[in-house]
Structures are given as structure tokens and as C-alpha cells.
Amino acid sequence: MISRRDFVAQAAGLALASIGAARASARPAPPTTITVYKSASCGCCAKWVDYLRAGGFAPIVHDEEDMDAIKEAMGVPSAARSCHTAVLGRYVIEGHVPVDDIRRLLAQRPAVLGLAAPGMPKSGPGMAVAGEAPEPYEVVSFTKDGKTAVFARH
């Protein structure tokens, strides 16, 4: 049989442990690492990297000379290509994809190779110019065999 004093001591210890756990879970999660391959001279790519940082990601940036070789190696279909390519876990992110779409991809974990904002959408993150009217664009998912499907409309 446990004494009242031992019971109170154990209960207090458990209470302190749960307070510590609650405080630990209240801390913000560390930024998600994403590796970005881009041309050193591309200003919109640099703006997208800044956008990623502001959106809670931790970009590791590699300036590359031959972006076509990177895209080919990563399996980005020709029709889905843009200026920069990123890797996040098992996914490839091509072009000016919004952070909310990237987060949705990570939450849903669909069986795709990645997401792309094909071309250079004028309203995409890193591309938009203050004072210009937004231009609708699509973000597509793509598979290893090159099939694409609309993932989001902006």
C-alpha cells in the first residue's frame, strides 16, 4: 500500500512532467528544410527563396549553371518546367509554387513526384509586381511518367 505522502509526491511529479510536455509542444516547430536549385542570375528565384523563408521553410540554395540537367535528373516533365527546382523530402517542387500548396502536399502525401507552377506565372510568389492586376494560374501535380493534373488554381 502506498502512503499518502508518496502518492502526493508521485502526483506532483506527474503534474510537473505534463506541464513540461505542454510547454515543449507549445514551442514552434523548426523550419522545414527545402533544397533549391536555381540560376545565380535569376532575381525571381531569389525572391521565391525569400518567400519560402518568410513562409517557415529553411531553404538550402545551390546556384547551378545547367538547370535543364537538374530538371531532367529530377524527372520534371518538359511541359511543367519553370526557372528553379526544389526538393523537399521525396517531392520535387518546380517553379513558383505557393507555400500553402507545398504544405497541402506534405499533409496529404499524394502518390506524385511533385508540384509545378509551369512557366513563369506573373502572379506567382516571387513574380508578382505591386500594382499589377493578378493573373490566374494553376499549380499541377506530376508523376514519374510525366502525367499532370491540376492541384490548385490561383
For the chain, the domains span 31-153
**Interval 37-84: pLDDT, tens:** 999 999 999 999 999 999 999 999 999 999 999 999 999 999 999 999
Burial grade of 40 (CB within 10 A; 0-12, 13-18, 19 or more) = exposed
What's the pLDDT tens digit per position in 135-145? 999 999 999 99
Tell me the fold of 31-153: Glutaredoxin (3.40.30)
